[in-house]
Amino acid sequence: MPGGKERVMIPFPWPSFPALVAEYAARTPQRPAVFHPLRTMTYAELAQEAAAAAHLLQDMGVRHGDRVGCLVRKTPEAIAAYLGIQALGAIFFPLDANQPPAVLRDLLTRLSPRAVVLCASHAGLWDTLGAPHLPRLVLPHPDHELPTPHTAPCCRFWTELEGVRLPMPLPPDDDDTPVYMNFTSGSTGRPKGALTTLGNIHWNSLASVEHFRMTGDDVHLCMMPSFVHPHELFARPLAQGGALALMDGIDPRTIVDTIRRFNVTCFMAVAAIYETLIRQHEHAPFDLESLRVAESGGMHVPAALSREFRNRLGVRLLPVWGSTETTGIAMATPLEEDPSFPAGATGRPLPQYLVEILDEHGEPVRDGAVGELHVSGPGVCREYYHMPLESAESFVIRPDGTARFRTRDLVSRTPDGAVMFHSRMQGMLKVAGMKVYPTRIEELLHEHPAVAQAVVVRMHDPLRGEAPRAVVALRPGQEATPRELWRWLEARLHRFALPRVIDIVDAIPKTPGGKIAWKEL
């Protein structure tokens, strides 16, 4: 157990998260809720600070249905602020400090927030966004001094909450109430805000909790940034009265230290972060004895990576599939060993989600055939905020009131229901009229003993229209030439699927969240 006396978990259907935290604080006030390198926040402290934040935001003018932007780091105070916003029935949305200021200004203009929750470390960035009069609640950061009221007249400060004890405002437990907007990456245009309801988060969290057999005794470490699926940081543990661990950055040594220090049992990260843990283990071996669920989503997980992670660390890597619009994972690898589950599969549908694979005419495809993935269920969002055309292209409301989301992922299904990822629709190549799926080329490159990571992108080909281009990073101390890698592929691929160019680089460019930085390729 993370600490504190034994407690009875609140059963599903759950109330709002502020109500959950208030109830667990009443039952087990000294039980840890949030582990962080600089403090451990108990349920009593989390409930107290969330309630005080709600009253302070209310004093700043925030009301039910208002939008509140969050330009924050992964800290206990940020979790309390999220809960405080929800307690008022307001809608929080994350702001990504890595986006260009023009993109952030566009989001602020489109969403017209009533207030912003701002980490002190982002105060300089905020000054470039042209919104000096927008009310701001400033959270502390150990490396940055808080501005003073004289220099920031529209600011209120987290330090004002010290010692404040006020009752938690509790919004109605309405599953249709929007609680936050999670934004797509914007890789195909303006970022789209998926309007996410309390019910979406509840059903998605239930799907994960049941599939991975999570309990209140688990300690969760989610490596998603604070601006990507922020509910993933807290929803699963807080629903069960468990604990979450927080850390900023993706340094593998810090990840290992965090898992071992806080006895993390459930870990969520993209495949590239597991790659760095393997490389760290090669350099300085370590064990992760407490870890029982190693979940990998957000990008394709090569079968070779899953094998190597298990061989080195003795923990099964569990690929999952999810999206912004499905509020998280909708498919997952079986928790227990399943000999029928194929290597490289992305998962089977969770019971709370319906998965359909359709052709270009909207008809189901046979097993083994490639089609577009469509996902339905109570965890699926219904619209993008104030983007009716984009919403109509992506969502269909079903007769039962739930939404069906068109993912634009190309997948196939095995006879026993495992789903195999092939490509994004915009990632599939047509080489002289033949469909070529980059994932297949990447999988084969990862099987080469010298290859640490490989990605495949399109390039222009004057004869065939377009062709694959492979970008490869080698393992430390290993050598391979582009010609050697091409010959490796030549024995395994149709000649039209062979990369026209193979570039060997020191490292594959990554985003701050650990995903592939496709725009740099």
Contact 331, 347 (CB under 8 A): yes
Strand ranges inside 324-443, DSSP E: 328-332, 348-349, 354-358, 371-377, 395-397, 403-413, 419-424, 429-431, 434-436
**Extents of the domains making up the chain:** 19-171, 429-520
Predicted local confidence at residue 228, as pLDDT: 80
Contact 315, 309 (CB under 8 A): yes
- Report the topology of domain 19-171: Rossmann fold (3.40.50)
Mean pLDDT of 192-198: 94
pLDDT reading at 185 higher than 70 = no
Helices (H), 88-171: 101-111, 123-126
pLDDT reading at 252 higher than 80 = yes
Instruction: Output 297 or 47, whichever has higher pLDDT.
Output: 47
Instruction: Output 519 or 110, whichever has higher pLDDT.
Output: 110
Token pair for residue 311? 């061989």
Contact 454, 472 (CB under 8 A): yes
Percent of the chain residues topping a pLDDT of 70: 96
| C-alpha to C-alpha distance for 23 and 44, rounded to whole angstroms | 10
pLDDT reading at 271 higher than 50 = yes
* CB atoms near residue 100 (< 10 Å): 9
Predicted local confidence at residue 287, as pLDDT: 95
Express each pLDDT in 57-108 by its tens digit: 999 999 999 999 999 999 999 999 999 999 999 999 999 898 888 889 999 9
Beta pairing, strands 136-139 & 115-119: parallel
From residue 263, how far is each of 336, 472, 491, 500 by CA, in Å?
21, 35, 45, 47
Express each pLDDT in 416-450 by its tens digit: 999 999 988 888 888 877 778 888 899 999 999 99
| C-alpha to C-alpha distance for 308 and 336, rounded to whole angstroms | 18
* CB atoms near residue 367 (< 10 Å): 12
Predicted local confidence at residue 434, as pLDDT: 79
Express each pLDDT in 218-248 by its tens digit: 999 999 888 888 888 999 999 999 999 999 8
Helices (H), 28-134: 43-59, 76-87, 101-111, 123-126
Q: What residue type is 305 in one-letter code?
A: L
pLDDT reading at 294 higher than 80 = yes
Contact 218, 266 (CB under 8 A): yes
Express each pLDDT in 141-177 by its tens digit: 877 776 665 556 689 999 898 888 889 998 888 899 9
The residue count for the chain: 521
pTM: 0.86
pLDDT reading at 191 higher than 90 = no
- Report how far Cα 409 is from the mean position of its chain's Cα atoms: 17
From residue 103, how far is each of 136, 186, 457, 468, 513 by CA, in Å?
19, 10, 25, 31, 18
Instruction: Output 472 or 142, whichever has higher pLDDT.
Output: 472
Mean pLDDT of 455-480: 90
pLDDT reading at 189 higher than 70 = no
Superfamily of domain 429-520: ANL, C-terminal domain (3.30.300.30)
Contact 372, 336 (CB under 8 A): no
Contact 97, 227 (CB under 8 A): yes
Mean pLDDT of 29-50: 96
From residue 267, how far is each of 165, 263, 414 by CA, in Å?
33, 11, 28
Q: Is 112 helix (H, G, I), strand (E, B) or coil?
A: coil
465 band by pLDDT with thresholds 50, 70 and 90: confident
Predicted local confidence at residue 494, as pLDDT: 85
| C-alpha to C-alpha distance for 129 and 108, rounded to whole angstroms | 9
Domains 19-171 and 429-520 share a fold: no
pLDDT reading at 354 higher than 70 = yes
Predicted local confidence at residue 2, as pLDDT: 46
* CB atoms near residue 30 (< 10 Å): 12
